[in-house]
Structure 1
Amino acid sequence: MTEAVPAQEDETPELVVVTGMSGAGRSTVGNVMEDHGWHVIDNLPIALLPELLKLADAPRSPTTPASPMTRRPTRIGIVVDVRAHGFETLVSSLQTLRDRGWRTRVVYLEATNEALVRRFESVRRPHPLQGQGRLLDAILREREVLAPVRGAAEIVVDTSGLNVHQLSRKTSPIFMSRSAERVRFAVLSFGFKYGVPLDADFVFDLRFLTNPHWVPELRPYTGRERQVSRYVLGQPGAREFIDGVGTLMQPVIAGYLRENRRYATIAVGCTGGKHRSVAVAEVLAAELRSEEVATFVVHRDLGQE
């Protein structure tokens, strides 16, 4: 994973709202934001957003010594769910803040119904909308309520196949200092038999390459290991594919920089997410990396088999 590069703080105020399905990992992402120096507030009533940002905009007293403790926050995160008072006004409230000069983004955490059911059953806690009803009904009801917010989100992250550490790695680049003007690509390997990632901006299918699973001496290994990587990358079309994706992404990178978009997920899939997609994701991430582009790799389904 590419390390965060220390940079001077960007004084343009920015607000990021982390929301999404209950059980999809909001608390974990809130912790990631704090690790990157964001001022994070959990379940702030939406009606208080303008008042909160007035405090952030207020000039510091000239008699107050400058220090990290007294510096006004310019990067504020709020973590909210459907129970937050005034949640239904979130989209319109954010537009009002944009009109006042704040940069705002919504990071929406998604997961499949099956993944959410497993998580709630494992912790033995009720869903916040469940009441006396069924867990699945509560999940479906929440998904319906959140639909407008998901539609307005700049970043959607599918957490279905991620553990806490993988989720932290995947979301960390989103919250790095914006003063480092780079596009950040998550290059995600996955297995089609486990489902296409819900948060993928670009999806590529590597099943045109011969599967090392059917080579007995390679089957136990993964695409991270040299013998498998050499086998995958040595096949006809593999090198051309990687070069082609690199060429394809050049106008995308230029467009992202123009439009001030800084994060996207490139998903490469094979059957099980163990050999071909893993080997190609590692090389693709390395070759996309440049002065304008930071990359990191997530192997979603590695270890599933």
Structure 2
Amino acid sequence: MQEQENVRMHVVVVTGMSGSGKSVVMDVLEDIGYYCIDNLPPQLIGKFVEICRESENHLQKLAIAADLRSGDMFTDAYRTLLEMKQQADLDVKILYIEAEDEVIIKRYKETRRKHPLDERFGGCLHNAIAYEREQLLRVKGIADYYIETSYFSASQLKEQIREIFLDNSSDSMSIKVTSFGFKYGVSTESDLVFDVRCLPNPYYIPELRHHTGCEKCVQEYVMSFEQSRTLLEKLKDLLDFLIPLYIQEGKSRLVIAFGCTGGKHRSITFTELIGDYLISKGMHVVKQHRDIGKDRP
């Protein structure tokens, strides 16, 4: 317990101009493991962080998005953020994002959403943007990270956030590798499905029938054939090509499924081998065998 209490909590405060992309940023931070809370009134930031620090869950990574919409709230937030940055048990980073006025106006017109200050300025978007930009100047001045999103696509902004807050880009994606038996139905959650029924079946070897692909004897039999070894290498090459592309496009979860007839021998063998290969490449991988317990004696 004492060791947990000494670990510094990482807090990212996401702020900046409305319409500049805060929601996209928060989606990425949530995907990479931050506990996220959106639209928290600035005067409550300090209290909320304190509650999280005292919780039994011992949150280590917290992200807070705050819209600073009035002078009073802005003053409270600026003072709170300065105090938090001075606390030794907190690692507080402020991420400030903004975009050009015309870009923000275009985004609001395209989405047909109201600016948070729309009613205050009688629907005049230019005045609302000008006021918000002025109010945010002090917080912008103490920001640790600054991103101008005018010419960023959503995927480019996501990639920028991952580069800032991840040591390895592969940390942004969780990969589930699963096996299944076609006789029980195709895995419907999967992004990539590979049918390995083309390979020799250990089921027809009496001494292997009641074992599974988790066991060395079955794996050695399946991989004793040249076509199995060739398929494994081609699958590795394919995934080496595809996974960086998925990460680049902002995909946070990938499900890879291997199917054979009963889901106990060939599919499990390839799930284990490909799962271990991706783990060796530094990926976050979970292996699952959907039908391993079905029809067992």
TM (norm. structure 2) is: 0.49
- Structure with the greater alpha carbon radius of gyration: 2
